[in-house]
Amino acid sequence: MKCKLCGSDSLEISNYYEFSLFMMARKLPYLIPSSIVNLFAKNLFAKKILINKQYFSKNKVQCKNCDLGFVDPQFKSNELSAYYQKQYWDHRDKFEGLHTVIFENGTHFNDEQLSIHRERINFIHSYIGDYDSVIDFGAGDCSASFMFKKDNKTVTAFDYSDKSKHVCKAIGVNFVSETNNLPKTDLIYASHSLEHVEDITSIFNTFLQHPVSAKYLFFETPNIETSFIFKNLIHTPHTYMLNEKAFRQIAKKFNLKIIGLELSGSHWSYFKRSQKNCRPDIRVLFSKK
pLDDT (0 to 100) of residue 97: 45
C-alpha to C-alpha distance for 27 and 82, rounded to whole angstroms: 24
Over residues 170-177, mean pLDDT: 95
In degrees and rounded to multiples of 5, residue 3 shows phi and psi of: -60, 140
Domains present along the chain, CATH in parentheses = 11-288 (3.40.50.150)
The per-residue pLDDT for range 59-79, each reduced to its tens digit, is: 999 999 999 999 999 888 788
C-alpha to C-alpha distance for 149 and 175, rounded to whole angstroms: 13
pLDDT (0 to 100) of residue 273: 54
C-alpha to C-alpha distance for 216 and 238, rounded to whole angstroms: 24
Confidence of residue 112 (pLDDT cuts 50, 70, 90): confident
**Burial label, 129 (beta-carbon count in 10 A; 0-12, 13-18, 19+):** exposed
pLDDT of 81 over the 80 cut: no
Q: Which of 1-10, 243-252, 261-270 has the lowest mean pLDDT?
A: 261-270
The per-residue pLDDT for range 115-157, each reduced to its tens digit, is: 999 999 999 999 999 999 999 999 988 999 999 999 999 999 9
pLDDT of 159 over the 70 cut: yes
